Amino acid sequence: MGSGLKSSASLDRAKERYSEDMKIYLDTSTLNRIFDDRSQLRIALEVKAVESILTLIDSKHLQVYHSDALAYEISKNPYSDRRQIIMKILKRYDGYQPLNPSILERANFLQDNCKLGDIDALHVACAEAMSVDYFITCDDRLIKRYLGSIVLLNPIQFILNLTQEE
């Protein structure tokens, strides 16, 4: 149990250490991870990490934010059952960022200067506007390319950060 992903004691430590004022943004790749084939080790670990994050959300130990960009991308999911499950998860969210001209301008800047894709740039610009503490994504390319003010982590890194011993 060295990873902390399966340890309820580690999750309990994370609950104690972090108050409800930690703000996170889960992008679409993270929300959809729970539906992916778990035969690959990394995906299985990310699924477990996302499940742990959802547990922390349910217990009100994290504030979770979403945006017009996230709602739009989820609406394009061709699997209605998955779309419904994700929409149910979104009802747990604490804050919402609509698109506005300054977010669109920032997204354009991120596309040009960080080489982010359209929707990724919108997600990040929305998360920045909400001043989230962590942006959680399964997109390695996004994590590597982003050069901005918020911390981008994959779900495993996020849970490991929460559960590490001080």
Of the pLDDT bands very low, low, confident and very high (cuts 50, 70, 90), residue 124 is: very high
Domain extent for 152: 18-163
In a domain, 33, yes or no: yes
> Is it the case that residue 41 has pLDDT exceeding 50?
yes
> Is it the case that residue 9 has pLDDT exceeding 70?
no
Rounded-to-10 torsion of CA 145, 149, 154, 155: -160
In a domain, 102, yes or no: yes
pLDDT confidence of residue 4: 41
Read off the pLDDT of each residue in 46-53 and give the average, rounded to a whole number.
97
In a domain, 46, yes or no: yes
Count: domains in the chain: 1
pLDDT confidence of residue 86: 94
44-48, 56-60, 66-70, 146-150: the lowest-pLDDT one: 56-60
* CA-only gyration radius of the chain, Å: 15
